[in-house]
Amino acid sequence: MPPKGTNDLAPRGCEVCHQRDRLLRCTGCLTVYYCSRDHQVSDRPAHKNACVDVKKARAELERIEQKLRTETASGPFGPDIFISQAGHFWSIDETRPYLEARCRLAETIFRRFGFDPGRVDGVQAALDHFMEVSRLARSETMGIRCLIPAFLIRLGRDQEAYDFLKAWAISRGRPDANGGGDMPHPEIKGANVLEPLHNGWTEAGQIDLHDAVVMTVIKFRVLSDLQRMQNAARGLADTFPREITDLIRRELVGSAVVTRPEVLSLDTAELGRLIDSIKFQIKRLFNAVHVRNSHLWEMLLVTLTTGGVRDTDPAETSIPGTRGEAFMTISQSLEAWVEVPNAPHQIKGVIRAMLTDGEVLDRMRAAMMGRR
Ligand SMILES: [Zn+2]
Ligand SMILES: [Zn+2]
């Protein structure tokens, strides 16, 4: 089964006529598809530059991999460095060029086929490379692990994004976290997205800004799933038997909610209480992020409504609380925000509800007015 499309990504189909049966894959980029030789030939002029770009990046990765394997085969790392040193690639000088080449290939695929128009196969292929980099280099400092949850969400794989963030939150809290950057993470699968928030996303002193922001995306998406279920329940309750409404609900929700059968059969009152608790979690995340970096929400809103923020100092990106850090965090999570239905409206709504003293709203207003 080819991956399904999402809100914003085109499903796998012919580049020319979008037909979805019996497709042939382009052998250059390995990322786009055609229904026939005719359509491939007619698309070649438009496709050629992107295709060659990706093909070159892959050839370079293969060259570096071959060189690495040849040079290390008889050394201290054993016959297969990809097995013996998995997890430690960032700490070994010989393996860093491989990681960098693999990231370049992922970025090239994403730049060429991940947006404008976004294709599900472009995002999927870039994500696969990022996941492999993250597996080989658990302590990498290139920020790849920050991109992974956003890409998963872009593909509608919220459950995996939640599991990934939870594993990181648990690893960070371990006593050996600082000295053991290459340590394997706990294997987490099917964690409950409705459970209380981990301290690593909300508590001052423990919060990871990036993870808290992406967690907000996940909770927004859960909230809209629950609200859709609630609306369907209201509309259908008297018309169909319970088994049918449960089936309909399954079709309305994303990957993180569909795995929770106990939620699919809640009545409207219970659903209402669950919706309130998720709204409360979102407010807590907003507050925690705001305390950690007071620029972030305002900058995100401006980015989503006007398409970008430019006046940040690149040197600031690693300094907590700065505009530069907010900018970096937003860049890494932007893919995920694309998949939040009506994100600017939702963000404004939470900010309004969060306010007691008017301080944040005044800042927002000033920011929005200044840029309109
Ligand atoms: Zn076609
Ligand atoms: Zn191609």
For the CA of 37, the nearest ligand: 1
Residue 11 has pLDDT above 70, yes or no: yes
Among residues 350, 292, 301, the alpha carbon closest in space to that of 330 is found at: 301
Domain that residue 294 falls in: 173-372
Cα dihedral value 166, 202, 176, 92, nearest 10: 70
For the CA of 48, the nearest ligand: 2
Letter string b/e over residues 128-139, b meaning 16 or more CB atoms within 10 A of that residue's CB: ebbbbbbebbbe
How far does residue 18's CA lie from ligand 1's centre (Å)?
6
Neighbours of ion ligand 2 (CB under 5 A): 26, 28-29, 51
How many domains would you assign to the chain?
Answer: 1
CA distances in angstroms from 107 to 102, 132, 231, listed in the order given: 9, 14, 40
How far does residue 32's CA lie from ligand 2's centre (Å)?
6
pLDDT at residue number 330: 92
Residue 280 has pLDDT above 80, yes or no: yes
Q: Cα-flanking dihedrals φ and ψ of residue 24, to 5°?
A: -110, 135
pLDDT at residue number 372: 39
How far does residue 7's CA lie from ligand 1's centre (Å)?
23
- When pLDDT is averaged across residues 294-299 and rounded to a whole number, the result is 91
For the CA of 22, the nearest ligand: 1
List Cβ neighbours of 360 (8 Å cut-off, separation of 6 or more).
290, 297, 351, 354
Q: What is the 3-state secondary structure (H, E, C) of 270-289?
A: HHHHHHHHHHHHHHHHHHHH
Neighbours of 37 (CB within 10 A): 9
How far does residue 39's CA lie from ligand 1's centre (Å)?
5
Could you tell me which residues are beta bridge partners of residue 24? Answer: 34
How far does residue 136's CA lie from ligand 2's centre (Å)?
27
Neighbours of 271 (CB within 10 A): 18
How far does residue 150's CA lie from ligand 2's centre (Å)?
25
How far does residue 19's CA lie from ligand 2's centre (Å)?
17
Residue 141 has pLDDT above 80, yes or no: no
Is there a domain that residue 24 lies in? no
- When pLDDT is averaged across residues 121-138 and rounded to a whole number, the result is 92
- When pLDDT is averaged across residues 326-346 and rounded to a whole number, the result is 88
pLDDT in tens, 81-111: 999 999 899 889 999 999 999 999 999 999 9
- When pLDDT is averaged across residues 68-85 and rounded to a whole number, the result is 92
pLDDT at residue number 368: 58
How far does residue 27's CA lie from ligand 1's centre (Å)?
16
Burial of 149 (0-12, 13-18, 19+ CB in 10 A): buried
Average pLDDT, whole number, for the chain? 86
How far does residue 151's CA lie from ligand 1's centre (Å)?
28
How far does residue 51's CA lie from ligand 2's centre (Å)?
4
Is there a domain that residue 98 lies in? no
Q: What is the rounded CA–CA span in Å between residue 316 and residue 309?
A: 15
pLDDT at residue number 183: 64
Is there a domain that residue 332 lies in? yes
Q: What is the rounded CA–CA span in Å between residue 127 and residue 31?
A: 13
How far does residue 124's CA lie from ligand 1's centre (Å)?
21
Is there a domain that residue 221 lies in? yes
pLDDT band at 239 (very low <50, low <70, confident <90, very high): confident
Residue 2 has pLDDT above 50, yes or no: no
For the CA of 14, the nearest ligand: 1
For the CA of 113, the nearest ligand: 2
In the 8-state DSSP scheme, what is residue 34?
A: E
What are the structure tokens assigned to 170, written together? Answer: 């648990």
For the CA of 55, the nearest ligand: 2
Burial of 258 (0-12, 13-18, 19+ CB in 10 A): middle
pLDDT in tens, 202-236: 998 889 999 999 999 999 999 999 998 888 877 76
pLDDT at residue number 359: 58
How far does residue 13's CA lie from ligand 1's centre (Å)?
8
Please give the ipTM for the structure prediction.
Answer: 0.99
Helix (DSSP H) and strand (DSSP E) numbers for the chain: 16, 2
How far does residue 231's CA lie from ligand 2's centre (Å)?
44
Is there a domain that residue 147 lies in? no
How far does residue 15's CA lie from ligand 2's centre (Å)?
10
How far does residue 291's CA lie from ligand 2's centre (Å)?
46
Q: Could you tell me the sign of the dihedral formed by the alpha carbons of 245, 254, 195, 326, in that order?
A: negative
How far does residue 41's CA lie from ligand 1's centre (Å)?
10
pLDDT at residue number 365: 61
- When pLDDT is averaged across residues 144-172 and rounded to a whole number, the result is 90
Q: What is the rounded CA–CA span in Å between residue 127 and residue 152?
A: 8
How far does residue 44's CA lie from ligand 1's centre (Å)?
13
Is there a domain that residue 39 lies in? no
- When pLDDT is averaged across residues 156-182 and rounded to a whole number, the result is 78
Pick the more confident residue, 6 or 78. 78
For the CA of 29, the nearest ligand: 2
